[in-house]
Amino acid sequence: MYNQMVMHRGESQTFGDAEVDRIFRALADATRRDIVRRTLGEEATISALAALYEMSFAAVQKHVSVLEAADLVIKRQQGRERLVRGNPDTLRAAQTLLDDFELIWRGRISRLDTLLEEDPDDSRR
């Protein structure tokens, strides 16, 4: 089994299968990806986010909760408002994990290419 070890900011962070699943399930939804994108540049209230989508305030609040559970956004209280901002650290960690998977697959393809080149029964010659 592949161990998901993700490095960021000079420290190592280990994501177990449950954390990886939470992150990528959260990012699988287009609305949630858009919320993350919008809140990476600046904080937004849930009310302001809800005004951007053709869905109820409660539905947007649920999307934000899923993102918060995956640590893709950070929510904080300011007065009566809840402010949401994207968490670039978790996105960087997810990117590092994807980069690791890419290296694994590139290595496998390279080994397959080597095996095919060594195959004496290869009819392409």
Q: How large is the average pLDDT for residues 45-50? A: 96
DSSP state, residue 83: E
When pLDDT is cut at 50, 70 and 90, the band that residue 10 belongs to is very low
* List of domains in the chain: 5-118 (1.10.10.10)
Q: CA 17 to CA 48: how far, in whole Å?
A: 33
Q: What is the pTM for the complete model shown?
A: 0.74
> Does the pLDDT at position 34 exceed 60?
yes
Distance of alpha carbon 94 from alpha carbon 4, whole angstroms: 10
Of 17 and 12, the structure prediction assigns the larger pLDDT to 17
CA distance to 8, 17, 19, 21, per residue, from 14 (Å): 10, 10, 9, 13
Q: What is the pLDDT of residues 80-105, one digit of tens each?
A: 999 999 999 999 988 988 898 888 88
- The span from the CA of 11 to the CA of 115, in Å, is 38
CA distance 94 to 80: 32
